[in-house]
Chain A
Amino acid sequence: MTARTAAETAVGDTLGPVTVPVGRETLVSYANASGDQNPIHQDEQFARSVGLPDVIAHGMWTMGAAGSVVSGWAGGAGRVVEFGTRFTKPVVVPAAGVEIEVGGVVKALDADTGRATVEMTVTAEGAKVLGRCVAVVQLD
């Protein structure tokens, strides 16, 4: 993985969009890795019983997938120094699975610190699922 430099980066640069598949097995993996075993993320019957259309992805899985895309773009996981989002819409995951699209645009670049502010756009079935998803990454 090559580190991105501030010199080769400009405001308005885009990353992605990258398509990330998510299936029920993805959510089981995330549940086991994160410790969040809420059945709404695994059990279709339970999810429907609490008024959801189907199993939904953990919001933190979706944020994590966006984090993987932006850290890959920056050139390493340690380069993400700030990362925040709102969870505005759940990602519904039917038995056949679904895809999310993760993209971003450089909104600001601090020449002194080499830090870039990247606004991320994450969609599922054409609808935005994260709001105000912003990462600050340290470039070389």
Chain B
Amino acid sequence: MTETSGVNADFVGRTYPSSGPYAVSAAEIAAFADAVGSDDPLHRDPEAARAAGYADVIAPPTFAVTIAQQCDRVYVMDPDAGVDYSRVVHGEQRFVHHRPITAGDELAGELTVDSIRMAGGHAMITTRTELSAAGEPVCTSTSTIVVRGGEDQ
């Protein structure tokens, strides 16, 4: 018997109801900027951010992943999806920013399972999260995870 990743390919194309709101605070943005070593004043100084044309301090370009991963949970925690999270590694990540994520945003996230590919007992799953605020697009976050096959590999 060939052990496989156990991932259910029938989930391709599934879009989940929008989740959220995910509230974004200035403190979260500053902590994230500290962790990724960005000294940009736009993350911490509301006056500088407003002078640059933003409503408040803005997030680093990869901050969206923190919300996208919360949106992913509805899929990866679904027992029928067959995703064993202990065997997941992050393969690829991509962001398209329609505008920067800004302190005070209340974001909604709509998750779609774009593709599931099986190769060598592993499954490569690409999910896409469309983040929006008050119906206006903010960020498209696309993530590919690899679910490694089981013991027989």
Contacts and interface: CB of A to CB of B under 8 A. Distances in A.
Contacts of B99: 78
Nearest to B66: A34
A35 B73 CA distance: 13
B62 A63 contact: yes
Interface residues of B, number: 37
A111 interface: no
B105 to A, nearest CB: 13
Interface string B95-112: 111011000000000000
B69 to A, nearest CB: 7
Contacts of B52: 76, 78
Given A32-B31, A34-B32, A34-B66, A78 B58 contact: yes
Interface residues of A, number: 32
13 contacts: A1-B41, A34-B32, A35-B70, A64-B32, A64-B36, A68-B33, A71-B40, A71-B61, A76-B42, A82-B95, A85-B93, A85-B94, A87-B91
Interface of A: 1, 20, 26, 29-30, 32-36, 59-61, 63-65, 67-68, 71-72, 76-78, 80-87, 135
Interchain residue pairs A-B with the least CB separation, the first 4:
A84-B94, A64-B36, A68-B38, A80-B61
